[in-house]
């Protein structure tokens, strides 16, 4: 028997309709409706219609047959989402606590949304002069207007033509009383791009025979025929060239002298680019990893972590793995951080695999993204390279997911659903039985920990290609500079190195981490930073009451005026921007050609690539930038990397501060000396004895990890316990505080009543976020640190606590496994 009912999720992001709705499949559509398809259904009051995703098909349903509504129409024949994607969406919904529709929408490119248009027609049978009234009423004007237009009109256009609330009310009344008929039309926000082609129809062999059918006076038609043959030409070109009208074309079509065909055009952002990347002979270490890979993938769903120092040739390994997959008839996804999607990575992949590659990232237009997606869906692509959301690429026989620079925070989405591409990839591997490879020179503590408990296989590359030595890293103690009377942001050492590099015509990179900027307080003489005694994170300075606050647990104390450690008065906030660094460098080295790369200089589309290319072509001597320049770049002539101040990341009020500092320092240092020209790195800091800097200086990930994992264990931070960060944002701080406190109390009450009182200690009391106000909106949060993530997400998922709901003036963001808590 053919199933008669469909379960759908309505495409409207509202908590009130976040559930399955059953619809009857009309006889005409029996056997046609499939899971993953998008359909139009009647929904809510009146004759309103909306689009929805079919997520299930079933044989019976509890609603009585005379009460159940029917599906109206199918939007696309082929299901938009696959069965596996539907499974994945359910998991995302439950794990990250979001609406089901949000979990479905995240899997398709933006712009594929369904748009509803309401077409208006005159109901001539009903419109008589009498009922429309005198000539000058609004009603008669509307009728006249529609008659004059002589084409289908959108309801919105009519509202716009007759603006004002009162007019709108009266037009609506005309619809209600059937003077106007409204037909709804649904279509996708993105259109396919078509190109029309024109050629002789094939009716005759020679042009003369065609011309015999055209009158001598029809000059234009004759001209067209004379320009055509039996090969297709772009209609657009012919039209422009001969300056012809549609009517000539139509006459020729009527006489069957020409034929017009259209072809879908693939909007390809990389067309006309000729990349080359010949295969390299693998080094011993690379070969070794490929052999292990080949052995491991004989077993189902394997997970691997490649820990390879900077410049060790990880990309070449990825390309080899992808090639192995192709030989097995399997497809691959290669995820890279958004920012490394500069030509370098794309060039290497397309250069090796050409047409088989699709690229997905946020700089593509909606149309380009959609075309890529369609190509993937149609099975024309075997490799997808992309940023975070490319994990949802609809490949049919996915065999391998690779995540490059897996430690990068950009793999975590900051909008709902707040998913992490690595966690989604792990789940996907389970669902479709494919393999997962993570790669990094500085693996996240969590990922490395999973190699210790054997969840992941560890594959290592200990040397750079050609055994090029790792660059020398010098830590410069800025406290000494101060003692010697140097108040500049450049130490003597860094200044000297830049100068020398300029003379030798080598390139330099100056790096400045701007995150967490100016929120911590430190002593410039001794480097002392105030930390929370209970949480071991830096205290944050709050301007409104001049106090220091731990935004994990709420511990607070007044801001000291003199350093508690060395009694100096030089205790102050921190802060230098890239622009300021640029000004200073320009002044000190007027002869240097400087490029700056930060959010300000990369706003325009393509500017990122432009700066990178200019630097690559040696059009500049010094590149100044933020984390954007810290990774992935491979410039042979860069021999000096300077870190202006390492402490900004060291003192982030976040338990991952040390990890971030180690990663950033290692990654930026990794940009230096990648060729035979050897490299030097100078890191300026007030805390040169910090373990993250010492280990980075010694290129010693293993010992950094050992020290860090012990701290995590001691403080019970991830991976030992999981975190949930719940952020309340709103303009009215008082009501915000009231609501988050209610939330907290209800949560603890619930646990007590459920007999889980011992878990109450897992919830920290609400406190202001370390960035306590953004764009006039106050931010408070509540952190849960627990072994029982599932229980908590279950409680939160149930919409508990009750009565604390999002509204216009209150936003509640629940972040499972947050990447940063500021």
Ligand X SMILES: Nc1ncnc2c1ncn2[C@@H]1O[C@H](COP(=O)(O)OP(=O)(O)OP(=O)(O)O)[C@@H](O)[C@H]1O
Q: Using CB under 6 A as the criterion, which residues of the chain lie in contact with ligand X when the complex forms?
A: 280-283, 286, 308, 310-316, 441, 465, 632, 634, 670
CA distance 389 to 185: 30
Which of 726, 724, 728 shows the shortest CA–CA distance to 787?
724
Closer by beta carbon to Zn ion, 565 or else 791: 565
Which of 808, 804, 809 shows the shortest CA–CA distance to 742?
804
Contact between 269 and 364 under an 8 Å Cβ cutoff? The reply is: yes
Query: From the CB of 645, what's the least distance to Zn ion, in Å?
Result: 17
Task: Count interface residues toward Zn ion (CB under 5 A).
Answer: 15
Query: From the CB of 511, what's the least distance to ligand X, in Å?
Result: 14
Q: Which residues pair with 403 in a beta bridge?
A: 335, 438
Closer by beta carbon to Zn ion, 200 or else 532: 532
- 523 near Zn ion (CB under 5 A): yes
Closer by beta carbon to ligand X, 280 or else 765: 280
Residue 692 interface partner, choices ligand X, Zn ion, none, CB cut-off 5-8 Å depending on type? none
Return the range that interacts with Zn ion (CB under 5 A); candidates 194-202, 236-244, 305-313, 525-533: 525-533
Q: What token pair was written down for 545?
A: 């009451």
Query: From the CB of 484, what's the least distance to Zn ion, in Å?
Result: 17
- 559 near Zn ion (CB under 5 A): no
Place of tokens 């067309």: 271
Per-residue contact flags (x/-) with Zn ion for residues 765 to 794, judged by CB under 5 A: ------------------------------
Q: What share of the chain is helix, strand, coil (3-state, %, to 5)?
A: 35, 25, 40
Q: Which helix (H) or strand (E) holds 771?
A: strand 767-774
- 657 near Zn ion (CB under 5 A): no
Closer by beta carbon to Zn ion, 96 or else 764: 764
Query: From the CB of 479, what's the least distance to ligand X, in Å?
Result: 31
Q: Is 566 annotated as a binding residue?
A: yes
Closer by beta carbon to ligand X, 88 or else 681: 681
Q: Is 565 annotated as a binding residue?
A: no
Query: From the CB of 357, what's the least distance to ligand X, in Å?
Result: 17
- 185 near Zn ion (CB under 5 A): no
- 535 near Zn ion (CB under 5 A): yes
Contact between 654 and 681 under an 8 Å Cβ cutoff? The reply is: no
Q: Is 563 annotated as a binding residue?
A: yes
H-type alpha helices, 204-313: 207-212, 219-227, 235-242, 246-254, 284-296
Residue 381 interface partner, choices Zn ion, ligand X, none, CB cut-off 5-8 Å depending on type? none
Query: From the CB of 537, what's the least distance to Zn ion, in Å?
Result: 7
Query: From the CB of 321, what's the least distance to Zn ion, in Å?
Result: 43
- The DSSP output letter for 230 is S
Which of 663, 599, 659 shows the shortest CA–CA distance to 630?
663
- Kindly report the length of the chain: 822
CA distance 133 to 144: 12
Q: Which residues within the stretch 479-498 sit at the binding site for Zn ion (CB under 5 A)? A: none
State the number of CA atoms in the 13 A half-sphere of 128 facing the CB. Answer: 4
Query: From the CB of 656, what's the least distance to Zn ion, in Å?
Result: 15
Contact between 56 and 9 under an 8 Å Cβ cutoff? The reply is: no
Residue 230 interface partner, choices ligand X, Zn ion, none, CB cut-off 5-8 Å depending on type? none
Among residues 526, 646, 682, 782, the one that binds Zn ion under rule CB under 5 A: 526
Q: Is 535 annotated as a binding residue?
A: yes
Query: From the CB of 311, what's the least distance to ligand X, in Å?
Result: 5
CA distance 741 to 284: 59
Residue 314 interface partner, choices Zn ion, ligand X, none, CB cut-off 5-8 Å depending on type? ligand X
Closer by beta carbon to ligand X, 219 or else 462: 462
Q: Is 526 annotated as a binding residue?
A: yes
- 532 near Zn ion (CB under 5 A): yes
Query: From the CB of 708, what's the least distance to ligand X, in Å?
Result: 20
Helices 284-296, 314-327: crossing angle, 10 deg rounding: 40
Query: From the CB of 787, what's the least distance to Zn ion, in Å?
Result: 20
Helices 701-715, 445-452: crossing angle, 10 deg rounding: 90
Which of 554, 561, 559 shows the shortest CA–CA distance to 537?
554
Residue 360 interface partner, choices ligand X, Zn ion, none, CB cut-off 5-8 Å depending on type? none
CA distance 348 to 346: 5
Query: From the CB of 310, what's the least distance to ligand X, in Å?
Result: 3
- 553 near Zn ion (CB under 5 A): yes
Query: From the CB of 357, what's the least distance to Zn ion, in Å?
Result: 48
Return the range that interacts with Zn ion (CB under 5 A); candidates 522-530, 707-715, 726-734, 780-788: 522-530
- 746 near Zn ion (CB under 5 A): no
Which of 9, 21, 5, 110 shows the shortest CA–CA distance to 59?
5
Q: What is the largest CA-CA distance in the chain?
A: 104
Closer by beta carbon to Zn ion, 317 or else 526: 526
CB-based contacts of 327, cutoff 8 Å, min separation 6:
none
Closer by beta carbon to ligand X, 633 or else 810: 633
Which of 740, 647, 658 shows the shortest CA–CA distance to 685?
647
Query: From the CB of 280, what's the least distance to ligand X, in Å?
Result: 4
Residue 114 interface partner, choices ligand X, Zn ion, none, CB cut-off 5-8 Å depending on type? none
Return the range that interacts with Zn ion (CB under 5 A); candidates 238-246, 498-506, 533-541, 654-662: 533-541
Q: What token pair was written down for 702?
A: 């293993």
Residue 311 interface partner, choices Zn ion, ligand X, none, CB cut-off 5-8 Å depending on type? ligand X
Return phi, psi of residue 448, to 5°. Answer: -65, -35
Return the range that interacts with Zn ion (CB under 5 A); candidates 88-96, 134-142, 256-264, 555-563: 555-563
CB-based contacts of 822, cutoff 8 Å, min separation 6:
516, 519, 551, 652, 653, 654, 769, 770, 771
Closer by beta carbon to Zn ion, 71 or else 523: 523
**DSSP track, 36-70:** T-EEEEE-SSTT-EEEEEEEEEES--SS-TTT--B
> Residue 675: how many CB atoms within 10 A of its CB?
16
- Alpha carbon of 624 to those of 446, 582, 616, 627, 643: distances in Å? 31, 7, 14, 10, 10
Closer by beta carbon to Zn ion, 525 or else 608: 525
- 813 near Zn ion (CB under 5 A): no
CA distance 239 to 244: 5
Return the range that interacts with Zn ion (CB under 5 A); candidates 312-320, 352-360, 542-550, 761-769: 542-550
- 566 near Zn ion (CB under 5 A): yes
Closer by beta carbon to Zn ion, 112 or else 537: 537
Closer by beta carbon to ligand X, 224 or else 668: 668
Q: What token pair was written down for 635?
A: 């410039």
Closer by beta carbon to Zn ion, 172 or else 483: 483
The edge-to-edge listing of strands for the beta sheet with 638-643 is 472-477, 680-685, 638-643, 507-511, 622-625, 594-597
Among residues 565, 584, 715, 771, the one that binds Zn ion under rule CB under 5 A: 565
The radius of gyration of the chain's CA atoms, rounded to the nearest angstrom, is: 32
Residue 565 interface partner, choices Zn ion, ligand X, none, CB cut-off 5-8 Å depending on type? Zn ion
Q: Is 398 exposed, middle or buried (0-12, 13-18, 19+ CB in 10 A)?
A: buried
Q: Is 434 annotated as a binding residue?
A: no
Residue 632 interface partner, choices ligand X, Zn ion, none, CB cut-off 5-8 Å depending on type? ligand X
- 122 near Zn ion (CB under 5 A): no
Binding site for Zn ion (CB under 5 A): 523, 525-526, 528, 532, 534-535, 550, 552-553, 555, 563, 565-566, 568
- Binding-site annotation: residue ranges for Zn(2+): 523, 526, 532, 535, 550, 553, 563, 566
Residues placed in the known binding site:
523, 526, 532, 535, 550, 553, 563, 566
């Amino acid at each position: 028997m053919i199933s008669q009912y469909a379960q759908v999720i309505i495409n409207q992001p509202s908590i009130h309709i976040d559930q399955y709705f059953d619809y009857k499949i009309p006889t005409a559509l029996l056997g046609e409706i499939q899971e993953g398809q998008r359909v139009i259904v009647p929904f809510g009051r009146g004759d309103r219609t909306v689009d929805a995703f079919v997520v299930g098909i079933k044989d019976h349903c509890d609603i009585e047959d005379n009460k159940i509504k029917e599906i109206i129409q199918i939007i696309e024949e082929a299901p938009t989402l696959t069965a596996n994607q539907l499974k994945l969406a359910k998991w995302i919904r439950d794990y990250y606590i979001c609406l089901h529709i949000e979990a479905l929408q995240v899997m398709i490119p933006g712009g594929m949304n369904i748009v509803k248009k309401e077409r208006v027609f005159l109901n001539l049978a009903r419109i008589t002069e009498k009922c429309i009234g005198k000539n000058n009423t609004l009603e008669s004007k509307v009728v006249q207007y529609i008659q004059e237009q002589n084409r289908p009109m959108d309801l919105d256009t009519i509202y716009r033509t007759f603006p004002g609330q009162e007019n709108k009310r009266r037009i609506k009344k005309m619809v209600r009383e059937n003077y106007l008929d409204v037909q709804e039309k649904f279509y996708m926000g993105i259109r396919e791009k078509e190109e029309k082609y024109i050629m002789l129809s094939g009716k005759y062999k020679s042009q003369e025979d065609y011309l015999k059918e055209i009158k001598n006076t029809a000059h234009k038609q004759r001209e067209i025929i004379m320009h055509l043959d039996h090969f297709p030409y772009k209609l657009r070109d012919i039209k422009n060239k001969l300056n012809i009208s549609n009517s000539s074309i139509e006459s020729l079509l009527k006489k069957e002298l020409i034929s017009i065909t259209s072809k879908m055009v693939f909007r390809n952002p990389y067309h006309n680019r000729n990349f080359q990347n010949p295969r390299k002979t693998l080094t011993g270490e690379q070969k070794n990893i490929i052999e292990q890979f080949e052995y491991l993938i004989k077993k189902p769903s394997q997970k691997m972590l490649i820990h390879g120092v900077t410049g060790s040739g990880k990309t070449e390994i990825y390309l080899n793995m992808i090639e192995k997959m192709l030989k097995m008839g399997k497809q691959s996804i290669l995820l890279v951080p958004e920012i490394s999607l500069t030509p370098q990575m794309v060039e290497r992949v397309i250069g090796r695999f050409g047409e088989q590659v699709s690229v997905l990232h946020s700089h593509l237009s909606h149309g380009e993204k959609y075309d890529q997606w369609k190509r993937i869906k149609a099975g024309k692509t075997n490799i997808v390279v992309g940023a975070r959301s490319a994990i949802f690429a609809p490949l049919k026989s996915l065999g391998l997911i690779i995540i490059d620079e897996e430690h990068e925070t950009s793999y975590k989405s900051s909008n709902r659903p707040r998913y992490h591409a690595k966690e989604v990839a792990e789940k996907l591997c389970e669902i479709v039985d494919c393999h997962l490879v993570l790669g990094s020179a500085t693996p996240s503590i969590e990922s490395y920990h999973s190699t210790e408990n054997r969840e992941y296989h560890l594959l290592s590359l200990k040397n750079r290609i050609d055994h090029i030595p790792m660059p020398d890293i010098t830590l410069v103690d800025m406290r000494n500079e101060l003692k010697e009377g140097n108040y500049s942001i450049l130490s003597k050492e860094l200044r000297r190195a830049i100068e020398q590099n300029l003379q030798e015509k080598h390139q330099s990179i100056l790096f400045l981490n701007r995150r967490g900027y100016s929120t911590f307080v430190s002593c410039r003489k001794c480097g002392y930073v105030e930390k929370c005694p209970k949480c071991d994170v830096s205290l944050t300075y709050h301007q409104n009451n001049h106090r220091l606050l731990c935004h994990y647990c709420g511990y607070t104390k007044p801001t000291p005026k003199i350093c508690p450690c060395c009694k100096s008065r030089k205790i102050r906030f921190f802060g230098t921007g890239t622009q300021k660094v640029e000004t200073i460098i320009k002044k000190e080295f007027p002869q240097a050609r400087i490029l700056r790369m930060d959010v300000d200089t990369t706003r325009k589309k393509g500017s990122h690539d432009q700066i990178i290319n200019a630097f690559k072509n040696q059009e500049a001597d010094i590149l100044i930038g933020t984390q954007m320049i810290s990774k992935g770049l491979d410039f042979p002539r860069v021999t000096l990397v300077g870190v202006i101040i390492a402490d900004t990341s060291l003192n982030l009020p976040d338990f991952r501060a040390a990890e971030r500092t180690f990663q950033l320092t290692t990654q930026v240092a990794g940009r230096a000396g990648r060729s035979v020209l050897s490299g030097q790195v100078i890191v300026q800091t007030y805390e040169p004895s910090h373990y993250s800097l010492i280990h980075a200086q010694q290129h010693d990930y293993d010992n950094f990890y050992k020290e860090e994992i012990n701290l995590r264990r001691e403080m019970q931070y991830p991976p030992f316990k999981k975190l949930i960060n719940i952020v309340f944002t709103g303009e009215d701080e008082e009501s915000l505080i009231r609501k988050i406190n209610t939330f907290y109390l209800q949560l603890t009450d619930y646990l007590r009543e459920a007999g889980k009182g011992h878990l109450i200690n897992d919830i920290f009391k609400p406190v202001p976020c370390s960035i306590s106000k953004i764009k006039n909106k106050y931010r408070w949060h509540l952190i849960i640190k627990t072994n029982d993530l599932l229980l908590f997400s279950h409680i939160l998922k149930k919409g508990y606590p009750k009565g604390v709901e999002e509204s216009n003036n209150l936003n509640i963001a629940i972040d499972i496994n947050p990447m940063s808590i500021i």
